[in-house]
Structure 1
Amino acid sequence: MPPEPPVSQLERVALVLDALQLEGFLTLTEVSVATGIPCSSAQRLLERMVKLRWLLRVGDRYELGARLFELGSEAIRNHWFYRIVYPHLVELQERTQLIVHLAYLDGGDVVYWEKLSGSMGVRVPTRIGGRQPAYRTALGKALLAAESDRCLEHPAFNSMKRSTPATIIDRDELTREVDRVNNDGVAFDHGEALVDIGCIAANVHAGHASTSDGYTTTAAISICGPLGQIRREMINSVRAAANQITRAAAVNPMIDT
């Protein structure tokens, strides 16, 4: 059943972008079906978005345009918090030789903000802008531990599915794991997202602020690699990097002082 027609033009734009992000490219008719926007209205909207370079039309199909790629890249690289974090990520990668991630929480998922490849040749199928269910990852556990208990009430945690035999799929077990992270200050993934791949993560804070998403934690960082290469002393490296980032980002420039 198609969605109810959106009320505002801005809502229509958001639905079009969401549909194209999911499908890659769509015809006018497919956009109309996916969004609930009547074809005549959708055609006018799509052509306006093409003129703004938000979309690219190829034949009779539409895809995301160059302007969105430009904005997305700038949003990642020029964000004030990212500029503070990046040197610490590089230092952590050099110290551990493992893959380093920076991610934030969005509903029941973690979204990868940055990924630095390790020096040991291991490949992990994560990408900047990609998502993973929070319950499967050390990053997700670290972020959930830093937020209020209501985050664990998200519908995503009502039907958790295994990615590997080690994946946590029980709500009570996840709650206990998040409590343990709160006590220890670090989170672990023991092959729960990918077989034989482990991670250590810790959350990092920016200056306290009232945010539109209601979250208090800015992000989390992690190291990731084969379980056999995750050594206990690396825990201190992750903790130290997280503490350094939190101290460096203690003042949020978006807040009047």
Structure 2
Amino acid sequence: MHVHVDPPSDQLSRAELMLETLQTEGFLTLTQMVHATGIPRSSAHRLLERMVRLRWLLRVGDVYEIGVRMFELGSEGVRTHWFYRLARPHLFELQQRTKLVVHLAYLDGGDVVYWEKLDGEFGAHIPTRIGGHQPAHRTALGKALLAAEPEEYLHSPVFDRMKPGTPRTIVTREELSREVGNVRRDDIAFDRGEGLVDIGCVASAVSAGQAMSSDGRHTVAAISICGPLDHIDSRMVSAVRSASREISRSVGVNPMSKA
């Protein structure tokens, strides 16, 4: 845990900080929360108890943890999002066609966040999970998503120090820029044992029309298949390309652009 020197003053930002801290630490007492966030004790206590009443948090004795309502909201948000509903049938078809693990993910800073995971025959060997994060530079999904961003996106400080996952991981901005350039050219991205040893992935990005979101970007996600490196061949590449085209047709008109 670490102390935030300048904690936020508004209630919403404080609640966000507390939830993020609990997500990292698992569970905390009031004293530990105050130490970790720098939020004044009386304010922290009032806000924690308010979140308990909302079922955002669960308190057992004097220890707080993430509550069931947050899990419900997260799960409902994933399953009811219009993009997910339109893409999901194609993800299942891709999984049935390849028998490999299928992912749907989006970009958050320098990470990919997994929106969906369909386990194939090798699901137990690929320790990803819905809502989990992985550094974008280690994954085919990340490369596909980065290729959909402007070139200057790679100049973000999050790519100053890229930690390796395996000996094959790209760890310099120059290497990543070249790889992303190849993805833009070929419209397909690869992970050749860069995130997990002996595991390969193929990915392609899908853009949902031209509706701009509140963060100034278009709605973009990526799909991938993952499995043993020796299973990643031209047939798998064709399957990903086909699924990407079908999803693009389904989500090509962003319904939120009409709102």
| Identical positions, percent | 63
1:213 shift after superposition: 2.2
Cα distance in 1 for partners of 2:122, 2:107 equals: 28
1:122 to 1:60, Cα distance in 2 relative to 1, 3 A? closer
Determine the structure 1 residue equivalent to 2:231: 229
Kindly indicate whether residue 38 of structure 2 is the aligned counterpart of residue 39 of structure 1. Answer: no
| Matches of 2:213 and 2:5, distance apart in 1 | 29
Residue equivalent to 1:123: 125
Indicate which of 142, 145, 150 corresponds to 1:143.
145
What is the DSSP-based 3-state SS (H/G/I as helix, E as strand, rest coil) of the residue aligned with 1:254?
Answer: helix
Q: Do 1:104 and 1:113's aligned partners in 2 also have CA atoms closer than 8 Å? A: yes
Deviation >2 Å, runs of 4+: 119-122, 213-217
SS of the residue aligned with 1:26? Answer: strand
SS where residue 246 of structure 2 aligns? helix
Q: State the secondary structure of the residue aligned to 1:166.
A: coil
Offset from partner CA, 1:57-101 (integer Å, 9 cap, x none)? 011110111111110010010101100011000000000010000
Deviation (angstroms), 1:121: 6.2
**Which AA in structure 2 matches 1:181?**
V
Which segments of 5 or more consecutive residues in structure 2 lack a partner in the other structure?
none
Contact 2:101 2:123 in 1 (8 A): no
Task: Tell me which residue corresponds to 1:158.
Answer: 160
Contact 2:100/2:122 (CA < 8 Å) preserved in 1? yes
Distance 1:120 1:128, change over 3 A: closer
Cα RMSD after superposing both structures = 1.2
Instruction: State how far apart, in whole Å, the 2-side matches of 1:69 and 1:208 are.
Output: 31
Matched, 1:104 2:136: no
Number of residues of Structure 1 aligned to a counterpart in Structure 2: 257
Query: SS where residue 132 of structure 1 aligns?
Result: strand
The residue identity in structure 2 corresponding to 1:53 is R
1:195: which partner in 2?
A: 197
The aligned runs of 1:9-24 (5 Å cut-off) are 9-24=11-26
* Unmatched segments (≥5 aa) in structure 1: none
Alpha-carbon offset, residue 120 of structure 1 = 4.9
Calculate the TM-score normalised by the size of structure 1: 0.97
Aligned AA for 2:34? S
Residue aligning to 2:210: 208
Contact 1:122 1:225 in 2 (8 A): no
State the secondary structure of the residue aligned to 2:117. Answer: strand
Q: Distance in 1 between matches of 2:222 and 2:231?
A: 21
Whether contact under 8 Å (1:146, 1:216) holds in the other structure is no
Measured in 2, the distance between the counterparts of 1:43 and 1:6 equals: 15
Partner secondary structure for residue 110 of structure 1: strand
Letter aligned with residue 44 of structure 1: R
In structure 2, how many angstroms separate the alpha carbons of the residues matched to 1:181 and 1:33? 45
> Does the 8 Å CA contact 2:213/2:219 hold for their aligned counterparts?
no
Q: What's the TM-score, normalizing by structure 2?
A: 0.96
Match of 2:69 among 67, 70, 83: 67
Shift in Å at residue 55 of structure 1? Answer: 0.6
CA distance in 1, matches of 2:49, 2:89: 42
Post-superposition shift, 1:212?
1.7
Is 1:90 matched up with 2:110?
no
Q: Is the 8 A contact 2:183 2:189 kept in 1?
A: yes
| Number of the residue aligned with 2:27 | 25
Q: Return the alpha-carbon distance in structure 2 between the equivalents of residues 104 and 224 of structure 1.
A: 16
How many Å separate the matches in 1 of 2:5 and 2:146? 31
Partner in structure 2 of residue 78 of structure 1 = 80
Query: Is this contact kept in 1: 2:211–2:219, CA < 8 A?
Result: no
In the alignment, the residues of structure 2 paired with residue 14 and residue 2 of structure 1 have an alpha-carbon distance, to the nearest angstrom, of 13
1:102-126 Cα distance to aligned partner (Å, 9 max, x none): 0000000000000000135652010
How far did residue 33 of structure 1 move?
1.3
